[in-house]
Amino acid sequence: MMFDKPSISIIGLGYVGLPLAVHLAKHFKVTGFDINQDRISELKESYDRTGEISSPELKNSTLHLTSNEEEIIGHDIHIVTVPTPVDENNEPDLRPVHMASETVGRIIKPGNVIVYESTVYPGVTEDDCGPILAKISGLECGKDFFLGYSPERINPGDREHTVDTITKVVAGQNKAVSELLSHVYGTMNGGKIFIAKNIKTAEAAKVIENAQRDINIAFVNEISIIFQKLGISVYDVLEAAGTKWNFLNFQPGLVGGHCIGVDPYYLAHCAKAFGHDPKVILSGRSTNESMSNAVSAAIHQTLKARNPDLAQPRTLILGLTFKEDVPDLRNTKVTDIIAELRSLGHLIDVHDPMADPKEAEEFFKIQLKPSLEMSEAYDCVVGAVPHEGYLNLTNTSIEQLVKPSGLIADMKGMWRTRQFDEKYSYWCL
C-alpha cells in the first residue's frame, strides 16, 4: 500500500478540490474529476469562477481534468472533496458524499486508498462511506481498500492561509495509511502535518473548528443588539475591549457560506443521535440565524424615524455574496435581509461586482444592477458586504446614491470612520 510516487484523483473541483488538485499536481500525477461538464470546460480554458486559482496557475498546471469517471481508474489514491450541505430542516444532507462514494466504488482497485476531505460528523467516513464503497466495488474495506480522512481548511478568498501553507490534519484506517497521507500532504505543504489518533477524531476536529467560530460570532452578535438598545456602537466597544491581550477579536454580522453556518448542524445532529441536547451549539445557531431579522428591523426603523410617511422605500443593497471579495453565493444571508426588507415594503435593487449575475438569477431570482450609475437616488443604501470596491467608495459617491434625508446603513461598519453630510442618516451596528 505504500506507493513510491502515488497517482491521485480528486473527486469534486470546487473551492476545496481545485486548489488541492493544482498544488498536489506539482508533485504527483493528479486527475481532477467533476460531474459538472461546464466546470471542466471552464477550467480547461484556464478560468476558475471561484477565483481561488489564477488563469496562469491553471494554464501551467500538469493537472488532468475530466468529467469521465473512467479516466480516474487506475489511480492509487482517491480524494473526495464534495460539499456536505444541510437540507431545508437543517439536517445533514449526505447525498453528495454518498454519490461521490458510489462513483469511486465503481472504479477502485485492490490496494487503493480513499480519502475524504468533506466536513462530516464523526463516523460518516467509516460507517457510511466505507460500506458504500464496499458494496459498489465488491471489495472488503480494511483489507482490499483503505480509508483516510483529512479535513479541508479552505477559507474562500484567503490568500495567506492556502492549502499548501496550512497545517493538514490526517488520519488513516491504520498506521500505514496515516503515514502515506502524511507523506502525500506533507510533500505539498512543507511537512506541516498533524496525525490524528483516528478517523473519527479527525472528523470531530474539523466539525468543532467551525462550530467554535459560530458560537463566538453569536456572542458578538448578541451583544451588538444589546448595545444598539443602549445607544452605543459594538465596534467602539470591541475596539476598547480588544486592547486586552487575551480578548478574542470576533466581529458581528451575518453568518453564511458553506462552513460556519452549516457545520454546527452536523455536530448537533450527531449529538442528538447519541441522546445529548446540544444547547450551546444550537443557541449559537439560533442567534446567528436571527441576526438578519434584527438588522432589517433596525434599518427599517431608522429610516422610518426620519421619513415616517415613506410607504415603499427604494433601497439599494450593496453586496450579495456571503463574504467580502469572493464570488461565492452559497448560503448567503444577504438574501434574508432582502426578503425581510421586502416584507416591510421596501423596493429592492441589488448590486455586487463579485457575484455571477447568472447564478444570482438562477439561485435567488435576483437581477443584479450592472453598475452604480443610477438615474434616481435611493431612500436607503445598505452596505451589506464589505467588498474592497465598496470600502474605497468616496463619501461623495455614496451620498450621490441616497436622497436627502435618506439612510446610509452600514452593516459591517466599513464606513464608520467617515463623516457624512448631516442631511443623511447613518446607521451601523
Identify the weakest region by mean pLDDT among 59-63, 228-232, 343-347: 228-232
Residue 199 has pLDDT above 90, yes or no: yes
Mean pLDDT for 278-298 is 95
Q: Determine the Cα–Cα distance for residues 180 and 114; give it in Å rounded to an integer.
A: 12
**Would you say the C-alpha torsion 157, 159, 164, 165 has a positive or negative sign?**
negative
Residue 9 has pLDDT above 80, yes or no: yes
Q: Determine the Cα–Cα distance for residues 286 and 273; give it in Å rounded to an integer.
A: 20
Mean pLDDT for 139-154 is 96
Alpha carbon 263 to its chain centroid, in Å, reads 10
- Residue 154: its pLDDT value, please? 83
pLDDT tens digits, one per residue of 397-427: 999 999 999 999 999 999 999 999 999 999 9
Residue 73 has pLDDT above 90, yes or no: yes
- Residue 2: its pLDDT value, please? 58
Q: Structure pTM?
A: 0.91
Same fold, 8-199 and 291-429: yes
For domain 291-429, give the fold: Rossmann fold (3.40.50)
pLDDT tens digits, one per residue of 97-112: 999 999 999 999 999 9
Mean pLDDT for 118-141 is 97
What average pLDDT does the chain have?
Answer: 95
- Residue 305: its pLDDT value, please? 92
Residue with cell 460518516: 124
For a pLDDT cut of 70, what percent of the chain falls above it? 100
pLDDT-based confidence at 1, cuts 50/70/90? low
Q: Could you tell me the residue ranges of all domains in the chain?
A: 8-199, 291-429
- Residue 244: its pLDDT value, please? 96
Mean pLDDT for 367-375 is 92
Exposed, middle or buried: residue 99 (CB in 10 Å: 0-12, 13-18, 19+)? middle
Q: How many CB atoms lie within 10 A of CB 377?
A: 15
The CA distances from residue 374 to 241, 274, 346, in Å, are: 41, 56, 17
**Residue 284 near residue 218 (C-beta atoms within 8 A):** yes
The class level of CATH for 8-199 reads alpha beta
Contacts of residue 147, defined as CB under 8 A and 6 or more positions apart, other chains included, come to 113, 114, 115, 116, 125, 126, 129, 130, 133, 141, 172, 173, 177, 199
Q: Report, as residue numbers or ranges, the catalytic residues.
A: 259
Residue 272 has pLDDT above 70, yes or no: yes
Q: Virtual CA dihedral for 371, 374, 380, 383, nearest 10 degrees?
A: 20
Mean pLDDT for 348-376 is 94
- Residue 258: its pLDDT value, please? 79
pLDDT tens digits, one per residue of 167-184: 999 999 999 999 999 999
pLDDT-based confidence at 4, cuts 50/70/90? confident
The three three-digit cell numbers of residue 104, written as one number:
469511486
